[in-house]
Amino acid sequence: MSHPSPAASGSLVLDAEALYRELLRGVRSMLTPTTRLAGIASGGAWLAERLQKDLGLDGAPGVLSSVMHRDDFAQRGLSAGAQTTLPFDVNGADVLVLDDVLYTGRTIRAVLNELFDYGRPASVRLAVLVDRGGRELPVQADFAAARVALPAAQSLALARGDSGTFQFQVKEA
């Protein structure tokens, strides 16, 4: 598992590409013949897309949107994010959900509700690039490339460059 390194200013520095390589290793060890990848829009969907290619898996990965099942819908409203697309039969599938950052667990709860709207998978597992703690719901990743602590006033998000490379953005909330 990769560990974050502090920069000279004391801020958090995460090498998203190194963490991706760790995620690739972890996901490879989790695959079964019936595993289907589904990424949470948008960072998780980017990860699923790249993993699908790097692992040489047939077909396209799924994309899961949390929009319709969020418990903070009244505050956030309907975002213009991606819609759920599952190019595989959910019933009986081993679904590996991917996300960039696991924090409170509320997004995972929402996408699990969304996933079950499409059928009944045999199993659902979760792999993330970064687990930042701060859980409000009993949700945990089966694999996390790194675990970091951030103040609640900061958010961490994956960004994808034009060349497809990943980097993290730390923002003040």
What is the pLDDT at residue 13?
73
Averaged pLDDT, 50-68: 95
Averaged pLDDT, 49-56: 97
Are residues 6 and 12 in contact, defined by beta-carbon separation less than 8 angstroms? yes
Averaged pLDDT, 86-108: 96
Angle between the 43-54 and 16-30 helix axes, to the nearest 10 degrees?
60
Residue 39 within a domain: yes
Residue 5 within a domain: no
H or E element that contains 156? strand 154-160
Q: pLDDT tens for residues 122-170?
A: 999 999 999 999 999 999 999 999 999 988 888 898 999 999 899 998 8
Q: Please measure the distance between the N-terminal and C-terminal CA atoms of the chain and give it in whole angstroms.
A: 27
Domain encompassing residue 155: 14-72+81-172
| Beta-sheet pairing, 154-160 with 166-172 | antiparallel
Residue 8 within a domain: no
CB contact set of 168 (below 8 Å; sequence gap of 6+): 14, 16, 130, 156, 157, 158, 159
Residue 162 within a domain: yes
Number of domains present in the structure of the chain:
1
The single-letter code of the amino acid at 100 is: D
Neighbours of 160 (CB within 10 A): 17
Residue 3 within a domain: no
Residue 17: is its pLDDT beyond 80?
Answer: yes
Report pTM. 0.88
- Residue 98's SS3 state is strand
Residue 127 within a domain: yes
What is the pLDDT at residue 7?
40
Residue 9 within a domain: no
Burial 132-157 (b: 16+ CB within 10 A, else e): beeeeeebebebbbbbbebeeeeebe
The single-letter code of the amino acid at 36 is: R
- Residue 73's SS3 state is helix
Residue 26 belongs to a domain with what CATH number? Answer: 3.40.50.2020
